[in-house]
């Protein structure tokens, strides 16, 4: 029922994800959400985020940030990393993901999208045919519309985990 919203993988954090495995599997591009995926909502890029992007580049990944936020927020976040980005992406529309893949010169088969929200990050990337990774939100402070969506996400995640457990048995 909710399959188009389901992530392909679920991890506690973008910082604990097995990027080496993804690279071995042939992925070469990573599209990241920013707020509550890499930093708390509205926070600047921190040392951990900068180090992660640097590590991924050294491994051979191309990186792009895709955010529904405005230009000042996204450009300031990306400045210390000198990385490609798209602001006001219109997620969950797939066009932002397609534009991101063009920027980092990857195909949908070579690209992973990492985010913390089902109804924007997972749905949009799934619509674009990209491998999706859901991470737990970093911060607890969120805008009211996101807080409300989190209740609906719990329902989707319940069915996702239930179907995943059936497949593993």
Residues of the chain with pLDDT under 70: 1, 142, 167-169
The pLDDT of residue 169 is 61
pTM to 2 decimal places: 0.90
Element (H, E) at 147: helix 144-168
The pLDDT of residue 84 is 96
Two tokens at 137? 């939100």
Q: Residue ranges per domain, the chain?
A: 3-168
Residue with the two structure tokens 């970093």: 138
The pLDDT of residue 5 is 93
What is the percent of the chain with per-residue pLDDT over 70, rounded to a whole number? 97
Two tokens at 61? 């990944």
Can you identify the CATH homologous superfamily of domain 3-168?
HAD superfamily/HAD-like (3.40.50.1000)
Instruction: Of 109, 114, 85, give the one whose Cα is nearest residue 99.
Output: 85
The pLDDT of residue 90 is 96
The Cα-based distances of 36 to 19, 49, 95, 98 in angstroms read 19, 12, 22, 22
Two tokens at 98? 């397609």
């Amino acid at each position: 029922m909710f399959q188009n919203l389901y992530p392909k993988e679920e991890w506690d954090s973008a910082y604990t994800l097995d990027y080496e495995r993804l690279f071995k599997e042939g992925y070469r591009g990573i599209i990241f959400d920013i707020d509550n995926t890499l930093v708390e909502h509205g926070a600047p890029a921190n040392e951990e985020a900068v180090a992660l992007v640097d590590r991924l580049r050294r491994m051979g990944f191309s990186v792009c940030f895709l955010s529904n936020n405005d230009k000042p927020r996204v450009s300031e976040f990306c400045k210390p990393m000198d990385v490609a980005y798209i602001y006001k992406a219109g997620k969950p529309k797939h066009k932002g993901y397609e534009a991101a893949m063009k920027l980092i010169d990857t195909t949908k088969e070579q690209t992973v999208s990492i985010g913390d929200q089902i109804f924007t990050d997972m749905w949009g990337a799934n619509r674009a045919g990209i491998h999706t990774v859901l991470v737990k939100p970093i911060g607890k402070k969120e805008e009211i519309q996101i807080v409300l969506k989190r209740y609906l996400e719990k329902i989707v995640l319940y069915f996702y985990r239930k179907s995943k457990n059936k497949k593993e048995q």
